[in-house]
Chain A
Amino acid sequence: MTDPLVIFDVALALAIVALAVAALSVRDLFAMIVLFVVFGLLSALAWVRLSAPDVALAEAAIGAGVTGALLLKTLHHLRYVSGTLGQQAAYGVTPLTPVPIGVTLANAIFCGLITLGLAVAYLGAPAAGPGFDALVAEAMPRSGVDHPVTGVLLNFRAYDTLMEVVVLLAAVVAVWQIERGVSDAPAPVLGEVWQGFARLALPATVVVGTYLLWVGAEAPGGAFQGGAVLAAVGLLLLLTRAYVPQPTHRGIARGAFVLGTGVFALVALLVASGGRVAFEYPLEHAKTLILLIEGMVTISIAVTLAALFHGREPVAQTKGGRDDT
């Protein structure tokens, strides 16, 4: 029969499942995170196979990259507060009560049955069933962009995308709220080679991020992928300590967090005139407006993701680093 690619697909799918199992079962938390990042990258590869390059880019940059960085940062912090930094052991602040094997087994069987049910339901679903294909194809000429995914994200379902940026805003507000009074774990010294690498990588990352944003109008890429890559610039700056967040920068940071949401929502409201409803961009300006929104959203995403990585709101460290009011 067969396409040799089927062998590749099966192997990749098995590897993905195996990595998921391994990430959950490996003892060492650092190994867990590394396995998870590899899992994310292979998932992205699978999505390339399924002709979803946009999703693959987003997953690789955000799902694997930024999430992995967040997890590593947290692990570093946990090891620092528990005094196990530099030791091989897990951080072990709270000793974990061992679960009886019976409970674990029962849970596993329960989830297994659910998964089986879902698999049966999936196999029963119409393969390559109905979809939005025809509707999108019909509406694309009126969207102002040439790349369908960007058209969906920023025009047809722009409301969803606005709310997604709102979720990001809610996250950074919540993180700043939650982490007040948490003192920073000392950043590790990474040495000359690392600094040299960062000097090389910084400009390249800026270029790649901007390119991804720009190219989104006609090819895979766009605000989210570009924003995530630019967030990596922020991570590099924070890790090399080329930039140290200062309390006086809070105002600018807040402005950058809300920039995307604000501009997006304002544009959506202001276009509603002359018989148009909210989010209905006039065709002759659609491309400009979408690019404007994408640019602002990219800035917000980049700054927000970097801030989520940094965590704590930069406050003046007084009273031994605590302000619990």
Chain B
Amino acid sequence: MSVELSPMILAIFLPLFGAIAAFIAPRAAWSIGLATLAATTGAVIWLARDVWAKGAVMLPLGGWGAPLGIDLRADGLSVAMLALTSAVGFLVSIAALDSLKDAARQRQYFWPLWLLLLTGMNGVYLSTDLFNLYVMIEVIALAAVGLTVLNGTRDALRAGLEYMYASILGALLFLMGVGFVYLHLGRLDFAGLAGAEVSGSLIAAMALMFVGLALKIALFPLHFWLPAAHANATAPASALLSGLVVKAALYIVLRLAQYMPFPSETLLTLVGLMGAGAVIWGGIQALRAERLKLLVAWSTVAQIGLIFVAFARAGEMGLTESWKAAALLILAHGVAKAAMFLAAGRIKDEIGHDVIRDLDRAPIRPTLAQFTFALAAISLIGLPPSLGFIGKWSLMEGAMAAGYWHWVAVTMAGTLLSVAYFSRVLTAFLRFDRVRAPVGEHQGWALADAAPLTLALAAIGLGLMAAPLLSFIEIGYPFGVAQ
């Protein structure tokens, strides 16, 4: 009797078993965790090869098949998200080894929570069932809250509680939406959604699910919980939360837009407007932020807004192409923001504080971490040849082609704002005239800089591979074939 494994099953079950093992054996947690991440990455590569060779793949769990059972499905987009998750996750884990080395208890709980989080996220990317998505986002929510409050400070706990409320409320709105879908269709799989005729209950369902997910994504004006939660968590947790966790809910929005009889022009404009609000408001708040990590957190709010602008950039007709710009921005933000949070954490560790105003007084200059921060900023601002540049470029190209100049203007404004707020930090890195003590310019190099630096370099370098990346995420035609 030989067990027949599918890479999709492995991508979900490996982290689950890893979490169990890491919880039972706290002393060996870190080695279990790293091994699990390596194995999961392997499974994702296997899956990517399958998808590359055969196109979208499907697995009916239990052999029942949708709508009674639950199907797993992987196409280009899901594999891209899985790859983002496991690659970024692997590097963040390596960084966590160093940054948690003095905190035994934090380390003990970091691994099971993070592996449970990975289980939930991989589950989301492979799911094709609305209720299953609800359960998965709850797995993510509980593990993410656990990670947010890992360091146990008062601020982190307060932020974590707000995050918890927002998370539960978001999930419950989603569940209510699932209820309305069931009332209308009598089934909950994606295939049933496709081609459903629009009715009052379906509109209610869509609205509920969208608002619920927007709460989890922290889309303006529902972003209130995000800055504090991401800024006060410990650095590797912030990197995971900002780089990966919000992407899971974003991905669900993309999928819903794909299968539901979604967009009327007005709705897309509304989504774009919320995005524009996030870009502007997030940018302004980042300009005003006093602490480095808070600035980075606010920039997440702005960047998420940009992804929604990308989604709405060319209206209803352009949706078959627009989602690609959004997907590129999601990937770019995931990699760059994880790098940036890790770098910010390193800078804070070395200098001892992260008050932006006083960064240029510090005699210690963690050069490599600062360099990493700058590279990540390049991708987030959208300078060539970074992946962020490609994403922004395809956003504006589509908007211009469709004649939607207002979205171009919003994107430009957002870019200028991001230049402004990141240069606040970068100038502080480069100024030495306010330092009292002798400057130890090359102090604070550490092996711990390797992981964030790799991520930042990837954020830049992936821009050069944008074309194959784009053709890969098109496998399975998530939004149909472009006209």
CB of A164 within 8 A of chain B?
A: yes
Q: Would B199 and A254 count as touching, CB distance under 8 A? A: no
- A302-324 interface code vs B (CB 8 A; 1 in, 0 out): 00000000000000000000011
Among A118, A280, A324, find the residue whose CB has the most chain B CB atoms closer than 10 A: A118
CB of B221 within 8 A of chain A?
A: no
CB of B145 within 8 A of chain A?
A: yes
B326-379 interface (Cβ within 8 A of A):
none
Which of B101-109, B274-282, B440-448 sits within the interface?
A: B101-109
Q: Would A163 and B123 count as touching, CB distance under 8 A? A: yes
Query: In the complex, A255→B26 CA distance in Å?
Result: 12
Which of A39-47, A95-103, A232-240, A265-273 sits within the interface?
A: A265-273
Q: Would B116 and A130 count as touching, CB distance under 8 A? A: no
Which of A58-66, A80-88, A167-175, A187-195 sits within the interface?
A: A167-175
Q: Would B200 and A261 count as touching, CB distance under 8 A? A: no
What residue of chain A has the Cβ atom nearest to residue B123's Cβ? A163
CB of B460 within 8 A of chain A?
A: no
Within the complex, what minimum Cβ distance (angstroms) separates A47 from chain B? 14
Query: In the complex, A272→B3 CA distance in Å?
Result: 5
Q: Would B16 and A159 count as touching, CB distance under 8 A? A: no
Contacts of A274 in B (CB 8 A): 1, 4
CB of A258 within 8 A of chain B?
A: yes
Q: How large is the interface on B (under 10, 10 to 19, 20 to 34, 35 or more residues)?
A: 35 or more
**Which of B3, B16, B142 contacts A273, CB < 8 Å?**
B3
Q: Would B204 and A178 count as touching, CB distance under 8 A? A: no
Q: Would A258 and B152 count as touching, CB distance under 8 A? A: no
Q: Would A277 and B201 count as touching, CB distance under 8 A? A: no
Within the complex, what minimum Cβ distance (angstroms) separates B115 from chain A? 10
Within the complex, what minimum Cβ distance (angstroms) separates A153 from chain B? 12
Contacts of B145 in A (CB 8 A): 174
**Which of A155, A174, A275, A278 contacts B6, CB < 8 Å?**
A278
Q: Would A170 and B68 count as touching, CB distance under 8 A? A: no
Q: Would B70 and A159 count as touching, CB distance under 8 A? A: yes
Q: Would B180 and A121 count as touching, CB distance under 8 A? A: yes
Query: In the complex, A170→B123 CA distance in Å?
Result: 15
- A264-300 interface code vs B (CB 8 A; 1 in, 0 out): 0100111011111111110000000000000000000
- B89-118 interface code vs A (CB 8 A; 1 in, 0 out): 000000000000001111001001100100
Q: Would B1 and A273 count as touching, CB distance under 8 A? A: yes
Q: Is the interface of B mostly helix, strand, loop or mixed?
A: helix
Q: Would B187 and A125 count as touching, CB distance under 8 A? A: no
Contacts of A160 in B (CB 8 A): 70, 129, 131-132, 135
**Which of A136, A155, A158, A270 contacts B3, CB < 8 Å?**
A270
Query: What total of A-B pairs shows CB separation below 8 Å?
Result: 176
Contacts of A324 in B (CB 8 A): 152
Q: Would A177 and B113 count as touching, CB distance under 8 A? A: yes
What residue of chain A has the Cβ atom nearest to residue B135's Cβ? A163
What residue of chain A has the Cβ atom nearest to residue B184's Cβ? A125
Query: In the complex, A132→B64 CA distance in Å?
Result: 13
CB of A69 within 8 A of chain B?
A: no
Q: Would B104 and A261 count as touching, CB distance under 8 A? A: no
CB of A257 within 8 A of chain B?
A: yes
**Which of A139, A170, A176, A275 contacts B64, CB < 8 Å?**
A139
Q: Would B152 and A273 count as touching, CB distance under 8 A? A: no
What residue of chain A has the Cβ atom nearest to residue B132's Cβ? A160
With A130-B185, A277-B6 given, is the CB distance from A174 to B64 under 8 Å?
no
Q: Would A269 and B61 count as touching, CB distance under 8 A? A: no
B179-204 interface (Cβ within 8 A of A):
180, 182-187, 199-201, 203-204
CB of A157 within 8 A of chain B?
A: yes
**Interface residues, chain B, CB within 8 Å of chain A?**
1-6, 9, 13, 16-17, 19-20, 23-24, 59-64, 67-70, 103-106, 109, 112-113, 116, 119-120, 123, 129, 131-132, 135-136, 138-139, 142-143, 145-146, 149-150, 152, 157, 176, 180, 182-187, 199-201, 203-204, 208
**Interface residues, chain A, CB within 8 Å of chain B?**
117-118, 120-122, 124-126, 129-132, 135-136, 139, 155-160, 163-164, 166-167, 169-171, 173-174, 176-178, 180-181, 251, 254-255, 257-258, 261-262, 265, 268-270, 272-281, 323-325
Further contacts, 19 of them, CB under 8 A, given A136-B68, A159-B70, A280-B63: A122-B204, A125-B199, A126-B184, A129-B186, A131-B186, A132-B187, A157-B69, A157-B131, A160-B129, A173-B146, A174-B113, A177-B146, A178-B149, A258-B24, A272-B3, A274-B4, A277-B6, A278-B59, A325-B103
Q: What are 8 contact pairs spanning A and B, CB under 8 A?
A: A156-B69, A166-B16, A166-B139, A167-B135, A167-B139, A178-B146, A178-B149, A277-B60
User: Which 10 A/B pairs are nearest by Cβ-Cβ distance?
Assistant: A130-B186, A121-B204, A174-B146, A124-B200, A279-B62, A280-B63, A125-B201, A177-B109, A125-B183, A170-B142
